[in-house]
Amino acid sequence: MSFPDFLRKTKSRLKVWEILSDSKTPLTARQIAQKAADGEKEKGVWLSSVYRALEAFEKAQVVNRTLLKDSPEALYSLSETGHHHYAICMNCKSRTELEGCPFGEHDHLHTVDEDFMVVGHVVEVFGYCKDCRKKMQKNEKK
Amino acid sequence: MSFPDFLRKTKSRLKVWEILSDSKTPLTARQIAQKAADGEKEKGVWLSSVYRALEAFEKAQVVNRTLLKDSPEALYSLSETGHHHYAICMNCKSRTELEGCPFGEHDHLHTVDEDFMVVGHVVEVFGYCKDCRKKMQKNEKK
DNA sequence: CTACATGCAAACCGTTTGCACCCTA
DNA sequence: TAGGGTGCAAACGGTTTGCATGTAG
């Protein structure tokens, strides 16, 4: 995956791009701004600019935005990043990675029908982990 | 699916419950409050109370909350409601229902492993619809 | 040179929280 | 009648937007 050639290569966008490239996990906008500031030679990238860069990347189909029930913050990753799905406990919010993907391992790039170009997908399984089930049973039968 | 017996049956909660029961599609908290106010005999239910009722229902595992890339507002539905998955255009936000479910038709109620109780799952396919692809090609090659 | 990107601040808006009063069990 | 639920208002926090300035092409 490379920086889209029809987008202006500005300092901010290149920095955001670099941070996403270096990260093995999806990041929030805030985390990206944080990392940009940590490098701290130069001046970092303002949060709104991070959002605008991410928006441009998403439109260009090179970045995926994901919203989990887990948190109100969106997660961003390069589209190429191997995708993962999680089982999320609705009580303690712990996340366990799922083995495999229900769509199979051909990653993205199938079509729903001939008209819809698929960029990616989100799969989340939610429920309750063992520990929380125990706790909740105790509390509720009082 | 019936009203959990370990939750107090208050006017607000019963109203929210009734609205969810009557709806064939998932609703936002605001829509629920709206519908409660529309009935307009009585006084309706405050938005914060709707949220608190939904939170209680969700903890009780009788309501699912879903977040789509589509909108910042969460959608709520009774857990029993037959589930649907959508292909969502990242540009125009149109939604097309997917045929079937990648997890198969046994609905919820499988386990990820023996420790995690599954309540439900979210599957979203995102990409670009035919119309938007055309429009974007025109705009970007200027 | 000029259209687009950025820094910065302020608005936005869905959701959460605090508190006094109300009402279910 | 006690403890949880509700109305209401105010805070919260992630994201978006407006505007003057900067800068890539």
What pLDDT does A115 receive?
63
Q: Are residues A65 and A97 in the same domain?
A: no
Q: Are residues A54 and A69 in the same domain?
A: yes
Q: Quick one: angle between helices B47-59 and B29-39, nearest 10? A: 120
The torsion angles phi and psi of A8, rounded to 5 degrees, stand at -60, 135
Nearest CA to CA, how far is B84 from chain A (Å)?
A: 13
R_g over Cα of chain B: 18
Range of the domain at B1: 1-81
DSSP state of A82: P
Ordered mean pLDDT values, 10 residues apiece, chain A (142 residues): 92 96 90 88 89 95 81 86 67 69 55 62 73 58 34
Interface check for B102 against chain A (CB to CB < 8 A): the answer is: yes
Please state the rounded mean pLDDT for residues B79-104: 68
The residue out of A58, A81, A104 marking a domain boundary is A81
Q: Measured CA to C1', what is the nucleotide nearest B73?
A: C14
Cα(B46)–Cα(B51) distance, integer angstroms: 9
Q: Are residues B75 and B104 in the same domain?
A: no
Model pTM?
Answer: 0.67
Q: Note the pLDDT tens digit of each residue in A103-133.
A: 665 444 445 555 676 766 777 777 777 666 6
- The three-state DSSP-derived secondary structure of B33-94 is HHHHHHHCCCCCCCHHHHHHHHHHHHHCCCEEEECCCCCCCCEEEECCCCCCCEEEECCCCC
Nearest CA to CA, how far is A28 from chain B (Å)?
A: 15
Interface check for B68 against chain A (CB to CB < 8 A): the answer is: yes
Q: Are residues A2 and A56 in the same domain?
A: yes
Q: Are A113 and A105 in contact (CB under 8 A)?
A: no
